[in-house]
Structure 1
């Protein structure tokens, strides 16, 4: 599951400029404003990254270890319509070989606001049903009753999610808010809705004293409202929780280095309830997957149009 990884365009704020008439003959007329860039009817954004701990809404999806990730996105009509894909190594109870996501959506603009309305399908190829071998339960069939491992996950954890978000940029400050809803989270039969707010500030160039690149600070506050699993999985009420992260980063051309503090308000027992961390079966039902963590990420991001411009120089 993407950590807050739904690909979105930064909101653009256009300032109209009008040239005032000269008040004296020795006062030069203002320069004409630069012509706006021509809309790009088609582009491709893609990149790779390595993160020291892949988390989804505050919960580790990599058992606290580093993983490699990649993405690609086709953008049409000046990034109004997009189709994207994301892949990441994961370490989950169902032993999926990877996480593979596919998304589609639109990014309409209204004045200083940019909206992102879309759908994501989360996939986990190669997974197997997760069972508890330490606490067998009784199963009753027409042929008779028998005891076996408790089934803790569905056969298939794939799920879909719709989302809507909005962002706006003001002189280096970008603020946003979003809502994400799944009617069958992780195939558990439980509804799930995530609400979040984000903020990012990029330092002005004059603060860098001639240094190339950009420094930024950003943060997110989110609330994940979770429902009850299907009866076949025990009708378990999952624990809703709050998550947050704050960090800073440096971007130079295509390279970004990001350092971030991530945390949730889940207890270790509630974390085990939500995550199914296998370690919890051996330590009294506790998990560290939702605990505070410092995460370092190095990423390389490109666009097809950017590469074409670089080759044309």
Structure 2
């Protein structure tokens, strides 16, 4: 699951902009299960600073079912290119997520598991590659006035899909694991529909997610962004960069250098 700065800021702004009114009329209890969704167009799908679409446009969407207990399940999808799937036939990513989220004394804890699925990734008949992998995660966030700070750790245990050749040349290729640690900050400008975001993260390998063209097995990504919310629409722009050198396997173009990403999203 790739939670975007757009969705984070939209949620924060919606809560900040909602006025409190006294109302003595009885209200119906909230439903035990709520359903939320989103649809988004991005000028470039960046995952931990690295373009997943060779710097082209991506269409994304999600739907989430949340129980009043804090348990939730979600499905998120995006278009991707052959850098991610290692096959010219596969152009989709589907993330299946299950977790538990709860807030105590203003601090929110979120723990769960992500399963990344890439349909049609077999390059040739009989190849033994593996693209799908799972990744448990944990994050903690707290709001200080208009500012929300969040720390996240994702750990993908050793799996064939994280091997440097992803099992393409041999079904017995060495499995690898990966760790990602990130900090995110968001701020709502009071009495305006504008939000600001900041992000920094670091990836440790060796794994397919962390090893770049220079052979480095770790890298840092960072970004700064702003959002503007109008009704159910959120417009965003962000500057994203890394200190890595990832290359597209087919074009050899660098896909981890600095770039500006634009976003238009709708929530329902």
TM value normalised by structure 1: 0.68
Match of 1:249 in 2: 227
Instruction: Answer yes or no: is the 8 Å Cα contact 2:162–2:177 preserved in 1.
Output: no
Structure 2 CA distance for partners of 1:62 and 1:154, relative to 1, 3 Å: farther
Asked if 1:197 corresponds to 2:163, the answer is no
Counterpart CA distance in 2 for 1:155 and 1:70 is: 27
Asked if 1:158 corresponds to 2:137, the answer is no
Counterpart CA distance in 2 for 1:176 and 1:293 is: 24
Structure 2 CA distance for partners of 1:39 and 1:55, relative to 1, 3 Å: same
User: Radius of gyration: which is bigger?
Assistant: 1
Match of 2:77 in 1: 87
Counterpart CA distance in 2 for 1:35 and 1:179 is: 42
- Where in structure 2 are there 5+ consecutive unaligned residues? 17-21, 164-174, 209-213
Match of 2:257 in 1: 291
- The aligned runs of 1:266-281 (5 Å cut-off) are 266=244, 268=245, 271-272=246-247, 277-280=249-252
Counterpart CA distance in 1 for 2:57 and 2:34 is: 30
Structure 2 CA distance for partners of 1:182 and 1:36, relative to 1, 3 Å: farther
TM value normalised by structure 2: 0.79
Counterpart CA distance in 2 for 1:192 and 1:36 is: 47
CA shift, 1:67, in A, is 1.1
Structure 2 CA distance for partners of 1:237 and 1:292, relative to 1, 3 Å: closer
Match of 1:172 in 2: 146
Instruction: Answer yes or no: is the 8 Å Cα contact 2:129–2:161 preserved in 1.
Output: no
RMSD in angstroms over aligned alpha carbons? 2.9
Structure 2 CA distance for partners of 1:179 and 1:112, relative to 1, 3 Å: same
CA deviations on 1:179-216 (whole Å, 9 max, x unpaired) are 001013744222110000010000111xx4xxxxx100
Instruction: Identify which of structures 1 and 2 has the higher relative contact order when contacts are C-alpha pairs closer than 8 Å and 6+ apart.
Output: 2
Counterpart CA distance in 1 for 2:217 and 2:28 is: 48
CA deviations on 1:262-303 (whole Å, 9 max, x unpaired) are 00011x3xx23xxx53223xxxxxx4110000000000011x
Structure 2 CA distance for partners of 1:218 and 1:300, relative to 1, 3 Å: same
Alignment: residue pair count: 235
